[in-house]
């Protein structure tokens, strides 16, 4: 029986894979497994775990051992405010993310957040400066811009990732992005953590529409024979068109 490729959640229709397929040829360590997606009590649950599957990439058979949950919104979004409320997954070498990329080309891309557990089960990161010690987490914003044929450009970072004593894998947190013609603002729990307004960067984001994606990927170094079983729980997704956004 054919697997249904869409789900309905938060008033939108989502693909249970990337719009181009189920496995990235440059990153075959995990695939978009529809069985790693669940709607539970109205919340979206994206999982990781062992789920062997074979694909043909560049004429060669490749078997990946790891399945991951990913949803890709089918709506073409314009300027506005995007937000999810979620609890990050627990386990080693995890890479959950909330991001968007253009329907016209890649790049541009806005990563509202990418989070990393690395070799631990959590996201705490020892800061580079002592005064940032409390509540500094390995949760980053990122953007990609330029042209792929000329080598793309990227920019990672934020003013702060300070959540106080709230651990993002134990508490539901809000992650938002306000995308306008002139700038991109990123918010974590209502606090603005980054503004991107360089005209030489922003020009790549003008006049396009964005594909919103939420996924629970696994990082490089994952033990593919015994991958982490995890759950990335998303309580809600909200989008407010720019003309209705009040701040």
Domains of the chain, start order: 7-244 (2.60.120.200)
- What is the spatial distance between Cα 160 and Cα 127, in angstroms, rounded to a whole number? 11
- What is the spatial distance between Cα 154 and Cα 42, in angstroms, rounded to a whole number? 35
Strand 230-241 relative to strand 43-57: parallel, antiparallel, unpaired? antiparallel
The DSSP code for 169 is: T
**Angular region, 8: left φ>0, alpha ψ -120 to 50, beta rest:** beta
Residue-level pLDDT at 129: 55
Structure tokens at 207: 């006049």
Report pTM: 0.94
If one counts every other C-beta atom within 10 angstroms of the C-beta of residue 39, the result is 12
Q: Is 128 helix (H, G, I), strand (E, B) or coil?
A: coil
Cβ atoms 112, 176 nearer than 8 A: yes
CA 220 to chain centre: 16
Residue-level pLDDT at 128: 58
The DSSP code for 5 is: -
Q: Which residues of the chain have pLDDT under 70?
A: 1-2, 127-135, 151, 159-162, 164
């Amino acid at each position: 029986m054919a697997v249904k490729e869409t789900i309905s959640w938060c008033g939108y229709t989502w693909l249970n894979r990337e719009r181009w397929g189920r496995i990235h040829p440059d990153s075959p360590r995990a695939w978009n497994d529809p069985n790693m997606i669940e709607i539970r009590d109205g919340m979206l649950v994206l999982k990781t775990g062992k789920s062997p599957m074979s694909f043909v990439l560049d004429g060669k058979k490749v078997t990946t051992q790891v399945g991951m949950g990913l949803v890709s919104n089918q709506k073409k979004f314009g300027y506005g405010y995007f937000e999810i409320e979620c609890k990050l997954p627990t386990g080693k070498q995890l890479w959950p993310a909330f991001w968007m990329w253009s329907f016209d080309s890649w790049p541009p891309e806005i990563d509202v957040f990418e989070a990393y557990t690395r070799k631990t089960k959590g996201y705490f990161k020892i800061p580079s400066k002592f005064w940032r010690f409390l509540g500094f987490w390995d949760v980053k914003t990122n953007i990609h811009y330029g042209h792929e044929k000329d080598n793309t450009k990227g920019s990672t970072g934020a003013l702060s990732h300070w959540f106080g004593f709230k651990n993002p894998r134990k508490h539901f947190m809000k992650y938002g992005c306000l995308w306008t013609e002139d700038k991109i603002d990123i918010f974590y729990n209502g606090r603005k953590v980054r503004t991107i307004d360089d005209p030489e960067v922003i020009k790549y984001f003008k006049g396009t529409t964005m594909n919103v994606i939420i996924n629970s990927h696994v990082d490089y170094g994952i033990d593919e024979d015994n991958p982490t079983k995890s759950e990335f729980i998303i309580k809600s997704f909200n989008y407010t068109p720019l003309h209705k956004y009040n701040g």
